[in-house]
Structures are given as structure tokens and as C-alpha cells.
Amino acid sequence: MILLFFLLPYFAGGQYTKSIKVGLLFSKDAPSTMRAVGYRTSASAVLVARDRIREEHLLDEYDFNFTVKFDECSESLAAGKTVELINVDDVDVIIGPTCNRAGVSTASLSAYYNVPVFEWGLTTTADIGNFSRYPTTVTLSLDTHSELFSMAIGVREVLQRFDWEEFVFIYSNDGDEEKCAAMKDDMEKMSIEFPDTTLAYMYQIQTVTMDSLKRALKEVSKRGRIVVTCFAGGKGFKKAFVSATVLAEMSNDEYVYIFAEPQSRGFYVDEANGGVHYSWDDSDGNFVTGLTTDQIRAAYGRVLYICDVGLKLGVASLIECLQNMGEPPTKTPEFLNFTTQVIERMSEQPFNCVQDCANATYKVSATYAGQLFDAFYSYAVALNKSLAMNPSATDLKNGSLIMSSIGMTFRGVGGSSVTLDETGSRIVQVYMFAMNSSLLPYIAASLLVNGNQVEYTPFYSSESVLWKGGVRPKSRPICGFSGNECPPDFVKDYLIYTIIAALIVIAALLAGCAGLLYTIHMKKKEMERQDLLWQVPFIELQQIQSKSKAEASMHSFASGPSTSTKITIESRSETTNFIFYYYKQDITAARKHDLILMFDTNEKAEFRQMRNFDNDNLNKFIGLCLDGPQLLSLWRFCSRGSLSDVISKSSMQMDSFFMFSLIRDISNGLSFIHNSFLKYHGHLTSRCCLIDDRWQIKISGYGLKAVRTFENPKKEDLLWTAPEHLRNESGEKTSEGDIYSFGIICSEILTRSSAFDLENRKEKPDVIIYQVKKGGHNPMRPSLETSETVEINPALLHLIRDCWTERPSERPSIEQVRSHLNGMRDGRKSNLMDHVFNMLETYASTLEEEVSDRTKELVEEKKKSDVLLYRMLPKMVADKLKLGQTVEPETFEQVTIFFSDVVQFTTLAGKCTPLQVVTLLNDLYTIFDGIIEQNDVYKVETIGDGYLCVSGLPHRNGNEHIRHIARMALGFLSSLQYFRVQHLPAERINLRIGINCGSVVAGVVGLTMPRYCLFGDAVNTASRMESNGKPGQIHVTAEANKMLTQVVGGFKTESRGEVIIKGKGVMETFWLLGEESGLSVSAQRKKTPEEPPRRQSVRSISPIIEKNAEEEVAKGLYTEYKDINNGNEM
């Protein structure tokens, strides 16, 4: 018996030694999901899957314990139930939820807890498939991995297949708050991810009615012709939408309507009893259209369905649907057996749904029950693979471990293959349904969506069968969305205008022919006119007389070498080669050519183009004289002669910049020639490089190939000729030969000697030319020894050697030469004159800016000094002192003087450090200064805690001075009510104030630190009023009282009686109580106790501020006493 007792649990539990806790999340009573994923018609699919798992001996040691929770497609409820399953029920895996929003909540929590989640049904949003956000979630619905969302990708593939670049999207959340909202997000994301597909417009219908549908269609007709839609299923909305297209007159060949339905079987609608009917056979419900079923069915001919029918049917059913055109696809026997088991086994453990599932509504399995089967089965396969790879694993809820084995392919419950990729997303096939010519639905194409790749398989022989009119609609009509962009038919609409236009065209052609002939004639005339420009009549040339003052160097024109560095036309007006003329009041140099030639058309064209040359570094070609005694070529005269003349002048100073400028000018002129029709100069020497009065090089002697061909150059002129041309004198010249000549000229400039330094050599030109022509490894070239006083860039020497290298192909082009020269410029200007002028301009500009800046600084400093001076002295006094004028003392017959003193300041100062005393007085006097600014009062000075002010000077203000002083005094006392000592908040400040009216003399005393001082008995009396006053009281004399009460009025005073005043004897004095309609000191008077009269002196406290704060504290306060009995300087 004991043994039986111990063995009983083993026999009761069978072969299962371990258990797996499975959490199930369902939607039980949500109306919008009951048909697709309702709990009562789908939950037992896990039991069918469990049987298959055991048949295939997967997880033989494990039993499954199911825990069921209901989230009702609510985000918050799904989150709470997920936490309960993980923390309370300790499940190893969660199957569900079945809705998008609930699925996102569960996916987020599972990622946090690392628990595997297998979602199915209506979870079609792309967010759930984002593997980086939800790494432990597997989706058995449409592929939603990352942004690669199958339904939206499928729609895009259809749009791209038919060259539709833009579309509009109409959707409504009426009846299903999740499906179309997720589809809307996916469509927006698709259009953003793929710029080649444009979502032109999106329209949401809040409540689906016939009026709202027609309004939506009217809006989208202005923006698109390809309309993608999404509506809740089972509500008759799609039929109503198609009916609305007919009523809105939008059911024509211009429009295509694409129903993107992730929860649909296309044109077929499932019935509650398991049957199926066509979409156009839906009941009208609340949608009264007045249309017949045939009319609506015909409108469906312009509808394409893109749906996931393959998720609910087996392969055989799809093939059957293709073969039986128009018939609803039937379900495979295997799938029918599965749906029967799902309904029957709801009464089994753990569901025990008997009474609750007895309703006839729950006798047909849910649309997506097969996905629940696939979800549970795929979990078992993944777990089995994980345990095989990790036998020692004990944590079955390790989501990362499960996801590492999730990639698989297996036979689904419907017979078709189910493929999950490495991220747990299902690779699915969506289908495109269309209507044939018999208005029967069929599957037109399949779309296998794998990430962003789509395999499109058409099942139609010709695309034209898809369109009711046989022609594919365009996404943008030719005439535009409004129909007013059609190009007009000119022949039809504008026949008269067309005839007129034709006549105009014919007339234009005739006119064009005439114009062409006229143009040819005029061009010939123009050429003749242009020829006259370069043909200079000899009669218009005036030879320069010997007394002319014109000067020019003859060295560049002479027939032989000359030792003269400066030859004037006066001494030699004609040479062997040149003669000088006036032509149109300009001096021209005419080269003589001893030959007679007839020029052909090409040669004349050359002369015309040469005549039009305009470059800063080319000498102007004026023309040819053909009717003179001999042929003459005329060039502009340059006053400074040739470069050879300038080099030969030993007295001419040439620095590195001067040399560089000459070389650069030659390269610029040569560049123009090489880039022109001439292509080369051919006879470039330093004698051809003329210099004008601005020291600018002008290359002359270019062109005239027909003339040069018959001339024999002299030996001296061949010193600049390239060796290859010396060897072949009859050959055509080249630009490479010009580069060689350029190098020889540069050596002349740098060494300041002639070519090959001919004057200082023993060899004659014939010998030098022979050595150059001979060539060899070390061919003869000029020396490049330069003066030590001139700094030459080494790169320039290398460039010159490259220019005269033996092989023409190794010589740089003129553009390369210019590029190297530009690299040596170092920011220098373009020519010598510009360089000099720019230096002068820069200096003048810099000087002007510096003067301007200094002037501004002076003005600013003057303003600062004026502000400081006006704070120390009255403005009118300061202005006189600035002008150097003497400020004469001035008598003021009637002013009001004010004295104040801080009561018991010595005691208060004893409680403070010197720095605190300074801070206290600064805070107090800042308040007083603000009050002074509100009145016409001049502050004379402050001496420690003493304050001296006056009104009525330096600007006289009549009798208003007493009013301003009185108001200021009252303001001082009033401000003390709110003043607090920062470091002694319990202490209170009080004042003793004295006021007197009378005559004073004011003037500036001293030259060093001048001070504006007051003198007179009235000042002393005011001081006595303050010293004999009481704290918090304003003590005034009888004169001041009279001014307050009788002259200006408006003030309240009180007689104090007779008081003995030092130096004055007995005086009747008064208290100023306040202004009749303003401030008063009565309250202050009641609070202030009597204080004996202070000493007859004014105390001045001056802190001695040193650089070291410790020394300042050590020194303490320096108290200066001034007896003011005999002197009243303040």
C-alpha cells in the first residue's frame, strides 16, 4: 500500500515530468472582433495545436497549463492582464493579444520582462513588427517587421506595377477603431519611406453615411484618380462606398478603387453560419441608394481588392478559386475538420465553455482561429529547438532564447506553408482580386511580400482584362483633375485661326527665304566693309617729320643690332624695316615688306579677326596698306620701345616684382594667341614685346602667316627659335616653339642681358644657332645667373628650364605656365602701375580709417569726461572751464540752503567696519540723489554723514527754490521709513535737517580739483539750524518760514519759539510739518525722542581706501573736523 501511494502520482501524471505555463489573452465581448478573433470561437485552437505537438513528439516531457485572460482590445486592460500573467501567474509564454493597441502594450511589457509573446489575428500594425523595439514578439498575422509592412507594401507594388505615381486614401474608423487607423499609419509611412509613391490626399470619414461618402468622393476627385480605401468589415460600408461612386458619377474609366483589406476575403463576405455571399449582395441597411444590384455589381468592376485571403484558406482552395472563376473559394477538408474541432472542444478544460458558447452565433469558428493554432505550434517548435541547442536551459520564459530559434517553415492548419523569419515576422502572401468581363470575381495576382521585396505573380494573360474599358486609367488625367488642362484641338476649335496661322507660316517661310538671301547679301557687304577696316589707304598715312617730339626706341625695328639705348624719331625717322606715320592722329609703326601678294578669302578673314583682337597684352593690329610703294603692316606705336631696349638700359632699376610683372604680361598675351584661331605666334622675340607708357607688355608681330612665309629672317632673330624649327625651317611653327621662345625671353629679363648674352660672348650668332640646332644631352642654353641683389623665386628658374627643354612634348603649355606663375604671385597685383597705385590707395585708405577710428574714440572719451565733469560741477560752470574761461564769483540774492546730518552716526559707525560704513552711506545717498533729481536742487557736496544742497543756483528759479528744498527734505524723511542697514537690520536711520533762505556768493575755488563752493552768512545759519534741530525734524529759520507760508504757500509749519543760536544770539525758529496736500513729518515727530543740541561743528567721515583691504580695516575711520563758524566752504 505504501508503494502504491508513492507510485500513484506517477501514473496520474503520465509521462509528463515538467509543465509549461501558457498565458492566453483574448477579446471576449468586443463587437468589432467577435467574428474574426472571438474567444468563444477560437480559443480551443490551442488544444488542437497541442494534439499535433504531441503527435510530432515535440516537448514530450512537458505538459501545458493554460491561463486565460480577457483584454477586450483595450490598451490599459491588456497592460494590466499582461503584468498579472507574468508576475502573478508566472507564465512562460503569452499567446495574444489579437488587436493592435492591446498588442503594442503587451509587446512593450514582454520586451521589458524578456517573456516571449506570440500575437495573432488583427495585430497588423507596423509598430508591433519593429524588432528593435519589441525583440521578444512574434506576429502570426501580416508581416509587420520594422517598417516593412506587407499590406502597404503590397499596395505600393500594385501602384508601381501599373505606373501610378500618386494616390488618395479614404478611410473611416466607424465600426472598427483599430484596423483602418493602423492602415492609415502604414500608408503614411509607406509614402514617406518610398518617395516614388506619393500619398496626394487623405480623407477620414467620421461617420459612414451616404452623404459623407459622396462628400469624400467629391473631395478626392479634385486630387486623385487612384483611390485606396479602408472600412470596417461586416457593416455594408464597402457596398455603400461603391454605390456612392455611382451616385457621384465617379464610376467610370478614369477611376480605380483599391480596397486594402487585411481582414477580408475580397469580394466574398463570410456569414455567421459559415456561408459566404458576394459583397454587392449585402443588405442595404441604412444606406438607401435607389440603385439595383446589377448597377452596384457593375460598379464593382472598377474595384481591386488587396487582401490576405491566403491566411485563412489552404493552397488547394486558392487553386480552386483560380480554376473556378467567380466561385467563392472553398475550405480544405483539413481546415474544415479544424474549424469543427474548435467549436466542439470549447467545452473541454481549461475553457469549459458550455452555456456561454451554446448560442447559435458561436457555431462557426473565428476567421483567424487558424493563426492561433499556428502561433501555439510555432512556439512549441521554437522552444523544442532552443532546448535541443541548450539542454541545460531551465528558464523557459527566456524570450531571447526563444527568438534565437524562431526562424522556421511549417505546414499550417489550412495546408499551406507558414514561414517566420529571424525576427519573428510572418512572411505572407497577399492577393489581388478583380472582376472579369462577366462581372465575376477572381484572383488576378499574388504578391509574396518579404521585407521590402515583393514577388508579383500575375494570373491574367493580358493587363487589359483588368480594366473595364480595356485601357489602364492614369493617376493624373491628361486634362488634370479639374478637367480644364486639356490641350486645345486647334484644328477643330480654331479652324479659322489655323488657316490664318498656316498662311502666316507660309508667308514667314517666304520672308525667311528672302531674309536669308538678304542676310547673305548683307554679310557679303559686311565682309567688304570689314575688309575696308584693315585696308589702310596710303593717302591717309602722314609721315612724321623730323621735328616731331614723338619718341620711340628704334632698337626693336632696326635691321641690325644697335648700341643706342634711346633713339628719337627726330634723329632717325625711318629704318630699314620700319617707317612711322600718323594715322587718324595716332602714331603707328609700319613694317615694310618687300613683296607683292594677292590675298585669298581665308587670309582676308584672318586679317579681319586680327583687327578685332582686344587684349591688354597684345599690341593692336591696325591693318595693311596695299596701295603704297610697298606692302606695309601697321601696328600701334608703344612709347617705351621694346623689352630688348629696356633690358639694355643699364641705368634702369628692375626689382623682382618688376621682372615678374613683365614675365606675367608676356604669358597672358601668349595665352590669348594660343587660344585664338592663330594657335601660335611663330616669331616671338624680346624685340616683339613692346612696352607702353604704363609699363605693360604688348606682344606685336603676330599673325600675317601669308606674308611671313616669303620672308627670310636674319641670324640674330633666330636666337629665340626652338631647335626643332631650326632643323626644319620650312615646317609650320607650333605653340611648343613659342614656349621655348618664352623661356629665352625670361632668361633675358632675369639676367638683364640679351639672348645668350651675345654682347659678352666670343661666339657669333651662327655658332650659337648651330649649337642649339645640334642639341644633345646638354644642349646649349642661356645662363640663368642672376644678380645677388635681386631675390628670384627658385620655382621660376625651374619653370624657365622646363620651357626650353629639348623635347617639345615635355614643355609645359601656356596655361600650365600661367598656373605656375599665379602660384608665385603671393597676392600681388596684376601690373606695375596697379601695384604702385594700389599701395598709395591702401595707405590713404588705412590712414583715413585710422583717423576716423581715433576721432570716434576721442568723441566717446570726451562724452565720458563731460558726464563725469557735469557730475562734479554745474554744467554752465563746467562749460566755461572747458573753454578756458575764468569763472567769476556770482552773487545770488535769494536761495535756499539745506543741511542734514545722520543722528547718532558715531555710535552707528562704531558698530561697523570701514567698508560697511562706506556701503551704508552709499546706499543712503543713492536714495537721496534720486530724490534730488525730482527737484530743481543742486547738491553741493557730502562730507561724511553731512549733506549740503542748495536751490536757486546756478540757475535762478524765482521763489520756487524754497518749495523744491522743502519737498526734498520731506522726501528724505519719508524715504527713511523703508531704508534698512544691510548688516544691521534692527538699526534705523534718522536725520536732523536745517533750512535757511538768504543771499550767497558761489564760485569755483582752486585749480587742482576745483570745487564749486558757497559763501555767506546764510550758509552758516542753515548749518546752525541743522545742529540745533531735533532728530526726524526739519528746522527752518523765520526767513524760510515766511517764504513757505506767505510767499509760495501750501506748507504747514509750527513755531518752536526762541532758541539761542551760537554766533546769532536769540532767534525765533520753526518746524516744517509738511505740505498741505502732500508729505508730513507729524508721525515721525511723535516717534522721535528729544535729543540735546549737537556740537557746533560738521563731522566729516572719510574712509581711507587702500589697495590692501586689511590695511584699510586697520586704519579705521579718519574723522576730519571743520569749524564752519568763520568759514562756510562745504
Q: Which 3-state string (H, E, C) describes 36-65?
A: HHEHHHCCCHHHHHHHHHHHCCCCCCEEEE
Q: Which pLDDT tens digit goes with each residue over 241-288?
A: 999 999 999 999 899 999 987 767 788 887 766 678 888 888 777 787
In the prediction, which pLDDT does 274 show? 66
Q: Which pLDDT tens digit goes with each residue over 66-92?
A: 999 999 999 999 999 999 999 999 999
User: Which residues have C-beta within 8 Å of that of residue 606, sequence separation ≥ 6?
Assistant: 677, 678, 703, 705, 706
Rounded to the nearest 5 degrees, what angle is found at the Cα of 307, between the Cα atoms of 305 and 310?
A: 130
Residue 831 has pLDDT above 60, yes or no: no
Look-up: residue for cell 441608394? 289
Q: How confident is the model at residue 11 (pLDDT cuts 50, 70, 90)?
A: very low
Q: How far is CA 670 from the centre of its chain?
A: 46
**634 bridge partner residues:** 590, 623
Query: 737-741, 856-860, 946-950: which range is least confident on average?
Result: 856-860
Residue 215 has pLDDT above 70, yes or no: yes
Range list of β-strands (E), 376-525: 408-411, 417-420, 426-435, 441-450, 453-458
**What's the rounded Cα separation, in Å, for the pair 800 and 957?**
91
Residue, of 1093 and 20, whose pLDDT is higher: 20
Q: How confident is the model at residue 941 (pLDDT cuts 50, 70, 90)?
A: confident
Task: Please give the share of the chain, as a percent, with pLDDT higher than 90.
Answer: 29
Q: Are 430 and 308 in contact (CB under 8 A)?
A: yes
**What's the rounded Cα separation, in Å, for the pair 135 and 591?**
94
Rounded to the nearest 5 degrees, what angle is found at the Cα of 687, between the Cα atoms of 682 and 688?
A: 45
Q: What is the mean pLDDT of residues 16-25?
A: 92
In the prediction, which pLDDT does 546 show? 57
Residue 964 has pLDDT above 60, yes or no: yes
Q: What is the mean pLDDT of residues 4-33?
A: 71
Q: How confident is the model at residue 794 (pLDDT cuts 50, 70, 90)?
A: confident
Q: Which pLDDT tens digit goes with each residue over 1090-1116?
A: 444 443 333 332 332 233 333 333 333
Task: Check residue 473 and report its DSSP letter.
Answer: P
User: Which residues have C-beta within 8 Å of that of residue 393, sequence separation ≥ 6?
Assistant: 386, 387, 401
Query: 138-147, 775-784, 804-813: which range is least confident on average?
Result: 138-147
Query: 125-134, 454-463, 733-742, 762-771: which range is least confident on average?
Result: 125-134
Cβ count near 784 (within 10 Å): 15
> In this structure, what C-alpha cell is assigned to residue 548?
616731331
Residue 562 has pLDDT above 60, yes or no: no
* DSSP-based helix, strand, coil % in the chain, nearest 5: 40, 20, 40
Range list of β-strands (E), 324-451: 408-411, 417-420, 426-435, 441-450
Helices and strands (DSSP H and E) totals, the chain: 34, 34
Q: Which pLDDT tens digit goes with each residue over 649-682?
A: 756 667 788 888 899 999 999 999 999 999 999 8
Query: 1-10, 495-504, 708-717: which range is least confident on average?
Result: 1-10
Closest of 74, 64, 63, 65 to residue 96, by C-alpha: 74
Let me know if 185 is exposed, middle or buried by CB neighbors in 10 A (0-12, 13-18, 19+).
middle
Q: Looking at this protein, which amino acid is placed at residue 327?
A: E
- Bond from prior residue into 779 cis (ω within 30 degrees of 0): no
User: Which residues have C-beta within 8 Å of that of residue 594, sequence separation ≥ 6?
Assistant: 630, 631
**What's the rounded Cα separation, in Å, for the pair 231 and 287?**
15
Residue, of 869 and 299, whose pLDDT is higher: 299
Residue, of 425 and 903, whose pLDDT is higher: 903
What HEC string does 231-246 produce? CCCCCCHHHHHHHHHH
Q: Would you say the pTM of this structure is higher than 0.75?
A: no
In the prediction, which pLDDT does 328 show? 52
Cβ count near 460 (within 10 Å): 15
The 10 Å CB-count burial string (b at 16+, else e) for 661-697 is bbbbbbbbbbbbbbebebebbbbbbbbbbbbeeebbb
- Dihedral sign for Cα 742, 744, 745, 751, please: positive
In the prediction, which pLDDT does 929 show? 87
What HEC string does 797-861 produce? HHHHHHHCCCCHHHCCCHHHHHHHHHHCCCCCCCCHHHHHHHHHHHHHHHHHHHHHHHHHHHHHH
Q: Which pLDDT tens digit goes with each residue over 1020-1074?
A: 999 889 888 899 899 999 999 998 888 888 899 998 888 888 888 888 899 998 8
Q: How far is CA 130 from the centre of its chain?
A: 31
CA distances from 485 to 254, 482, 1074 (A): 15, 7, 89
Q: How confident is the model at residue 381 (pLDDT cuts 50, 70, 90)?
A: very high
> In this structure, what C-alpha cell is assigned to residue 263?
481582414
Q: How confident is the model at residue 163 (pLDDT cuts 50, 70, 90)?
A: very high
3-state secondary structure of 965: helix
Query: 319-323, 575-579, 829-833: which range is least confident on average?
Result: 319-323
Residue, of 326 and 468, whose pLDDT is higher: 468
Q: Are 1053 and 1072 in contact (CB under 8 A)?
A: yes
In the prediction, which pLDDT does 1093 show? 42
Q: What is the mean pLDDT of residues 123-141?
A: 83
Q: What is the mean pLDDT of residues 449-473?
A: 86
Q: How confident is the model at residue 492 (pLDDT cuts 50, 70, 90)?
A: low
Rounded to 5 degrees, φ, ψ at 1114 are: -65, -35
Closest of 1033, 1053, 1019 to residue 1122, by C-alpha: 1019
- In angstroms and rounded to an integer, the radius of gyration of the C-alpha atoms of the chain is 56
Q: Which pLDDT tens digit goes with each residue over 174-199?
A: 888 778 888 898 899 889 989 899 99
Q: Are 967 and 1081 in contact (CB under 8 A)?
A: no
What average pLDDT does the structure give for the chain?
82
Q: Are 775 and 718 in contact (CB under 8 A)?
A: no
CA distances from 438 to 297, 323, 459 (A): 10, 15, 17
The 10 Å CB-count burial string (b at 16+, else e) for 134-173 is bbbbbbbbbbbbbbbbbbbbbbbbbbeebebebbbbbbbb
**What's the rounded Cα separation, in Å, for the pair 765 and 151?**
92
Task: Please give the share of the chain, as a percent, with pLDDT higher than 70.
Answer: 85
Query: 457-466, 620-629, 703-712, 1000-1009: which range is least confident on average?
Result: 1000-1009
Q: Parallel, antiparallel, or unpaired: how do β-strands 578-583 and 586-593 relate?
A: antiparallel
In the prediction, which pLDDT does 1120 show? 30
Residue, of 87 and 989, whose pLDDT is higher: 87
Question: How many CA atoms lie within 13 Å of 366's alpha carbon, on the beta-carbon side?
Answer: 31
Query: 85-94, 165-174, 545-554: which range is least confident on average?
Result: 545-554
- Would you mind telling me the total number of residues written for the chain in this entry? 1130
